[in-house]
Every structure is written in structure tokens, then in C-alpha cells.
Structure 1
């Protein structure tokens, strides 16, 4: 059973460290509570799949908040530690001065060579210096306490994030099982394996494959899908991630492609941005595991680089339906996923999802189709 409140408790370090983390963690908490209610109320396989999809999304949002909070805590700890190290001499001077002030005075220690007037002036000077010294000592004490608190937060949060990673993997497993057992997805056509094999063998480019992909359908029926035109530019990305390369940007080898490259974490959930027909799923050219969705007759969405695929060719999927998971999951990568290093640059996102949009078999810039928000 997915332990909702266990993960909610592990979001608190993000709340303590950053305002952005607070909003993200609270959002995840709300999502997770709603998903738990959906799971309890699920009466059909479709309801359970929907609830598990919402659960995994909530975990991904919450873990993103955790990573962001841990990264900020680590940066703040490093900053304070460097400041304290640079003030070692000042600390030593403060300690010596405070020790002198705090020592039990003898009656003669307050006598000034200039007599009572000099003694009074020295006392006034000491009275002025003492609050300043106390204030600076209090500031140093607060900095030291902040460092200790931040270290405690990171230690506890790391253990709690490991629990969160375990829970999200439980949800992934449950979703995979639920998808394997479902029988209620509508089917638009049956795939012709012979024509599919011929098309794969004869296609040397994605253009060629996209041109002939309709030929692999057998006994295709008409089906009405929602109009997509009003949502162009506001479609959600199929997975949580960071855009690493835009359309027609050259990669390290100098190769350009008309799609975008989305960096994701291992095991990230991939969902359908809108209701669509699955025109193809399987290996394709050098793109790895591919899912091609057709949201409307003249448009194709190509998603390449998945690790696991839940859908079958010919099925019709709903908006936000799970279509697969990114690869790269292992005990080592899950542990690495707790690291905050590289979050800003995307280097911690070891999996990549290639996204291409084709209209009338002409590549479009996906940036003009999908909503580009902060990943977190």
C-alpha cells in the first residue's frame, strides 16, 4: 500500500529552505492526498490506472521539491561554512575579548592611571563595546547553529527521500501491473505485422516511416477525437524534465534533428499530452523505443527513448493517460537520484526523451506546441 503521509512528511525540508520549494511541496502534498482518495475509490482498472498515474506525478513533484530544497540547503551550508572559515581570526579575537570581559575582576582592575575620571571614561567605553561584541558573538552563534541545522535537515531529508524513491517505485510497479491487466482501452485498428515489418525494413528515415505508418492499420474504424487547434502551444510536455536541446540545434556530433530533447530522471512517467491514436510503438531506426501518437488526422507526435511502453499500436488513449516510463532505473540510479548536484544544468537527468511533431509529414518546432514551464 502506498504510504501517503510518509511521503508528505519528507517534503518538509524543501519547505524550510525555499519559498519555491514550499509551493512545490504543498502542491505535491495536495496531489498525493487526492490520488490516495482516488485509489481508495477506484472501482475499475481504468480508475486505478488514473489514480496511480496521479500518484506517480505527485511523487515526482514532491521529490523535485525535495531535491531543490536539498540543493539550496547544501549551497547555504557551504556559504556559511566558508564565511565562518574566513572569520577564524575574528572568532579567536572575540573569544579572547569575551573571556577577558567574563573573568572575575579584582578591585584594582577597574582603577585607571588618570584617576576617577579616566576610570569612568574607560567604563563608558567598555559599556559601549560590550553590546557590539555580544551582538557579533550572537551573529556567529546563529551562523554556527544554522550550519548545524542545515546538516541535520540534509541528513534526515536524504533518508526520507530514499523512502520516497522506494514508494514511487512501488507505484510504478503497481501501474505497470494495472496497465498489463487492463482490457477496456478502445481500439481503432489492428496492426498488420507483415506491413509493419516491411515498412520498418524499407524506411531509412523518419520521414519515410511517417509517410507509410497509416499502411500498417487493418480494419480501421472512424473515431472522433477532441479538436486540438485551441490547445496548440499549451499542451503539457509528456514527461517531467528539462529541455536540453531545441529543434535543429546540433548535438555533440554536429547532427541536427527537427525535434527537441527532454532530459528526464530515470523512471520518469511519460503520458499522452492529449487524446490520440497510437499509430506505432516499438523500436524504430536509431531512435530506440518509440511511441507515435496521432491526435488528429494530419498530425503525429513522435516520442523516442522510452524504457517501457504501456500502449499497443491501434489503441486510443485519453489525455494524460500513461504511455510508458523512461529507462535507467536501478538501485544505483535511484540512489544517485537523491543527489542535488547538477540540478540546475540538467546533468542529473540521465535519460533523454526525443520529441518531434509532424504536421502533414512536415516537422514542426515542438516549442510552439508544448507548454514550457519550470521543471523543478
Structure 2
């Protein structure tokens, strides 16, 4: 909006030119509500034409604009946050002191990832709160503009009385609120304006409270972002230490990655890709055989032993040195956390934009969000696949596969065993092409999650905790 368009709501009538009290009051009002004063009276032709073309306000469009504005505000804020040299040195010293065994590093990495995702969820929630506060602020400002004449009359009355006049320049809602209250106490408000003046006081107080809330929310977000930057650095150091322990030679790893990419280029669907990987990539084949052996062992268990395993899944802490999934995947219903902090954007069964139903769920995340393993399992594939973008396929055993896609950077390799909560990838800055041709109302990063049982997609909702299922976007 132009300066000219902004000021038009405070246009001064020609008859007021000789009334300095009212003119000064209008000027003060413009400053109090945060708009420039002294601009031209009429809105620009472009603004008028836009108003005619747009018609009534669109709440959904307004919400999208507000969310985008808040995101831009936080993006600018995040660019100002850096890790001090003192904190970086302290982190380096801390990493130097920890146990460098594979098991200890894995525990430390999972703990760091958990802290990061908690902070990222705080940022997601804080962004929503800030956006809501900005929307409320806009609503109150519109209400104040509708009563600008009342405030101008009250301030002009104080100036005419010459007793306890309003500040020379009102720069905050608090200034205007103090002046209006003074006018009421001094009897400067005529009876006919008293009710309107009381409403004015309520709006000014609400605006002051909202602005205080915005300031507090920005402080909280800054603290969470700063802590997240530090935790991100800590986790990167831990992962680097763990990489030093990897036994697979660089040559073997590169050869398997090339072969996996060749198979991905030849595959026409996910099931075909999984089958070819498990038959032709040695590390993936070994992982699949380990999963099948574990499943066969569980099939031989008695019902009492199966119940003991279910009880273990409900209550026990798994062995940190494990090299196979601690629990039967089908027994983990209502136990899993989302792989990334964010909000549920689309669910299983929703229209996918191609005339079919979505075979997974979609989470909207913040840029750079960490993606972790939702459960223990072996990495079957990690890399690009068709329209999925960067994709990870996890084999948690029990005949299941978990597909994650939409990430920008993956940090695991085929055949690797990971535990629940272990870092797998990070999201990019914007949404990438996915298997679903959805007309989404966001260009924010979007994580696609699909569960498969014996090669067929299944609804993943029964596996997520109730808290996760409730994380839907507030405008969906």
C-alpha cells in the first residue's frame, strides 16, 4: 500500500482547515494508530481500481497474506541470529569430552535431534501465534479507523481546554489511551460521545495489549531460533564424529550409491524400486534378510512371548546398542512421533489432484527442518526418485516400509541401521515437486510420508500419537 493510500483514511475535511485543534488531533491520531499523516486526501487511482476489482475481503486470502508476511518477518529475523565464538568454542569443548563409541554417539545424536525438533515445533507454534496476533492487530486498527472522528473530537476537546493536553506527538496506543482517559476524567467528553469514547478506550487498550504480546512473542521466537542454531551446530559435530567410525570404505559406498541410482532410474514405481534394491544392493539385501530373520523368529514365538514383546513396546527402554528394531512395527500404534516438526496439511485418502486418493500424509514444515526416523529400521534407499525428489525408504520390519520424500538433503546410506529419532535428512527452503499433484495453498517445505505393508499403501494415522494427529494447520 502506498503512503498516499494509507493516509486516505485520515483525510482532513476542507472545513477543518481553520480548526487547528481538530487538525492537530487528527495528526496525532494518525501517529497513534501507526499510519503516516499529512499525505494526500484521496486514494490513488490504482488503489481505487484494485478495491473495485477485488470486491469484499477474502478471509482465506487475508490469512495467507498474513502468514506470508509473518514468515518474511521471521526469515529476516533468522538472518540476524548467529552463534557467538564463545558458544562455538564451548560446544567444541563439550564434544571433545564425550565418549566416542558408536553407541554413545548415537544416543547423543538422537538426544540432540529430539531437542532440535522440540525447538522447531516451538518456532512453528510461535509463528502461528505471531500471525494470529498480527491479524488481531489489523482488526483493532480497522476498528479504530472507523472511530477516528471520535478520537479526534476528544483530543481536540482536551486541547481547547488547555488543561492536561495530550502529548505533542502521540506515537503509541498508550499515549492515545492516556489522553482519552484524561478527557473522560476532566469531563471533556460530551454525553453524546461518552459511549463511543468508552468503546475507543477498549480498542486502544486492546491494541496496546496486542502489541505487548507481539513483542513478547518475538522475544520467545528469537530465543528459540538462537537455541536451535546452537543445537544444529552441536548435532553436526556429533554426526561428524560418528562418520569417522563408519567401517564401510568410501569406494564400496560410492559403488552402492551409483548402483542404487541406476536402479532408481529404471524403476517405474516404488514397489519395483524396493524389490530391485533388496535383490541387487548387497547392504540392502543383508538388511532385508535381517528383517526377514527377525520376522521369522517372532512368528515362532508363543502368544505369551508375543504379549511380553508388546509389553516391552509399551513400557521398556530399548537397548541402546541394538542393531535391529527393538519392537514389532505393528505394535507401535499410537506410539510414533512425526518425522519433522510441522502441521498436518493433507491426510491419507484426500484427493491427490490426479483423480485419485492420496496414499500418504503431507506435513508442512519450516525451511531447514530436521527429518528423523519415526522408528527403528534399515535404510533401503536414500536419493532422488522420479517426481518424489529426495526420498528415503525405511524398512522397520514386520513387512512394512516407510517412505519419506520432499527433503532437500539426505544424510544416510542404503543398508544403514537407524534408531527412532535418529537424523535422516533436512528440508529445503521451499516445497519441491512430489508424487502428488496437489494444488497446495503453500510453497513452504512439504514432507510426504507413506506407510506400506507387503507392498501396498496403508493409512499411517493409527501409528501416530494423538498429539501428532492434532497438529493440523489452523486454516485447513
TM-score class, shorter: 0.5 to 0.7
**2:375 matches 1:278:** no
Superposition pairs of residues 129-208 of structure 1, within 5 angstroms: 137=197, 140-154=200-214, 157-158=217-218, 161-162=221-222, 164-183=224-243, 193=256, 196-197=260-261, 199-208=263-272
- Partner residue of 1:367 out of 461, 470, 473: 461
> Residue 421 of structure 2: SS of its match in structure 1?
coil
How far residue 364 of structure 1 moved from its aligned partner, in angstroms, is 1.2
Structure 1 runs of 4+ aligned residues shifted over 6 Å read 96-103, 129-136, 184-187
Q: Deviations over 1:299-350 (max 9, x none)?
A: 1001011112222211211112221111128xxx9xxxxxxxxxxxx85661
Q: CA deviation at 1:86?
A: 1.5
What's the offset of the Cα at 1:164? 4.0
Partner of 1:213: 277
Matches within 5 A, 1:249-328: 249-252=350-353, 257-328=358-429
- Greater relative CO, 1 or 2 (CA 8 Å, sep 6+): 1
State how far apart, in whole Å, the 2-side matches of 1:52 and 1:162 are: 19
If each structure's strand is expressed as a fraction of its own residues, which one has the higher value?
1
Q: Deviations over 1:259-286 (max 9, x none)?
A: 2222211111111111111111111222
Q: Aligned-pair distance for 1:205?
A: 1.3
1: CA distance, partners of 2:234 / 2:393: 25
User: Are residues 244 and 65 of structure 1, via their aligned partners in 2, closer, same or farther at CA, if it must alter by over 3 Å?
Assistant: closer
- For structure 1, which runs of at least 5 residues remain unmatched after alignment? 1-35, 104-126, 334-345
The change in CA–CA distance for 1:285 and 1:65 in structure 2 (over 3 A counts) is: closer
In structure 2, list runs of 5 or more residues that go unmatched.
1-90, 164-186, 295-323, 432-439
Aligned-pair distance for 1:294?
Answer: 0.9
Give how far 1:175 is off.
Answer: 1.9
Q: 1:83/1:73 Cα in 2 relative to 1: closer, same or farther (>3 Å)? A: same
Query: 1:76-95 counterparts in 2 under 5 A?
Result: 76-94=136-154
Q: Secondary structure at 1:301's aligned position in 2?
A: strand
Q: Is the 8 A contact 2:390 2:408 kept in 1?
A: yes
Contact 2:121 2:342 in 1 (8 A): no
Normalization by structure 1: what TM-score? 0.66
Q: Does 1:358 align with 2:452?
A: yes
* Of 200-209 and 226-235, the range deviating more from structure 2: 226-235
